Amino acid sequence: MTLREELEQLGNWFFRWRSYLPLLLGVLFWFGIKDVRYPYAPTFWDQTWELFCLVVSGLGLVIRSIAVGSVPRGSSGRNVNEQRAHALNTTGLYSISRHPLYLGNFFMWLGAAFFIRSWWVAILTALIFWYYYEKIILAEEEFLRKQYGDTFLDWAKETPVFLPIKLGKWRAPELKFELKNAIRREYSGFFAIISVFSALKLVQDRVTFGEFIFDGMWSIIFVSGFVIYVTLLVLKKKTKLLDVEGR
């Protein structure tokens, strides 16, 4: 087996198990929390920093939502068992980044890492993410190259793999952006962000003060996020309100 084939095989393995990356980062975050002397500043500035971190993660969710809000059914999915691509997306965010969903994931995890207030946690999070997703991207692009041939190669030649540094290459999406499609596909990611931040806050207070403290601001954020999540879940499962034809 060649090195390229070994890396592709590793990437496919990471692809199948990518949902468990949070467990690895969770261990890292735990050691970071124990290492940091929290709180760093008076309550106002601590809360300001926490909200900034939430905005960073929210930016990742926005990137993902923009990407999936204008793609056809069967593409940009959350499949885990094998590579699938019923269409090659090359417009919208995919015209300036070949992997905007992973770019969104990066910001979502970077915001959580910033929340710890540890420079080494943020750096290690970025390095782990880079190593993990580099292999996944390699495997995905090998799959797309075999399935779409020159069409994929021409697109890859003009489009950055990750960072959207060629904004002038932007091409409007072929399908109109549908907010309902984005909500239906990303509402679980929204609540995951809220849950992770709320859990980190609880753990930080437990390590610092020796007991679980339900911070007022984060209690409101979590309860509001939970209500929104349950509402959207019911709408998706029990109604067709969030359905979009062909998406």
Q: Mean pLDDT across the stretch 40-54?
A: 87
Q: Per the structure block, which two tokens stand in for 84? A: 């699938």
Q: Choose among 191, 204, 162, 240: nearest CA to 40.
A: 204
Strands (E), 78-168: none
**Rounded alpha-carbon distances, angstroms, from residue 232 to 23, 131, 242:** 26, 34, 9
The total of other beta-carbon atoms located within 10 Å of residue 96's CB is 21
- Residue 110 CB contacts under 8 Å (≥ 6 apart), including other chains: 56, 57, 60, 122, 125, 126
What angle is formed at CA 180 by the lines to CA 174 and CA 183, rounded to 5 degrees? 110
Instruction: Quick: pLDDT tens for 138-159.
Output: 899 988 998 899 999 999 999 9
* Confidence check: pLDDT of 74 > 70: no
Contact 217, 47 (CB under 8 A): yes
Domain 3-176 belongs in CATH node 3.20.20.60: no
100 prior amide bond cis, ω within 30: no
Domain ranges of the chain: 3-176
Grouping H, G, I as helix, E, B as strand and the rest as coil, residue 92 is strand
The answer on pLDDT for 101 being more than 80 is yes
**Which tokens sit at 157?**
């030649």
Higher pLDDT, 6 or 232: 232
Residue 81: pLDDT band by 50, 70, 90 thresholds? low
The per-residue pLDDT for 40 is 66
d(CA 164, CA 129): 18
What digits encode the pLDDT tens for the residues 122-134?
999 999 999 889 9
Segment 9-14 mean pLDDT: 80
Sheet strands (E) in the chain? none
**The tokens of 70 are what?**
């204008």
How do residues 169-211 score in pLDDT, each as one tens digit? Answer: 899 988 889 999 999 999 999 999 999 999 999 999 898 888 8
User: CA angle, corner 182, sides to 245 and 234, nearest 5?
Assistant: 80
Does residue 41 have a pLDDT over 70? no
For the chain, what is the mean pLDDT?
A: 88
How would residue 167 be classed by pLDDT, with cut points 50, 70 and 90? Answer: confident
Judged by DSSP in three states, 135 sits in helix
pLDDT band with cut points at 50, 70 and 90 for residue 73: confident
For 79, the token pair is 């499949």
More confident call, 242 vs 38: 242
Of residues 62 and 21, the one with the higher pLDDT is: 62
Predicted TM-score (pTM) of the model is 0.89
Retrieve residue 188's tokens. Answer: 């679980």
pLDDT over 70, % of the chain: 92
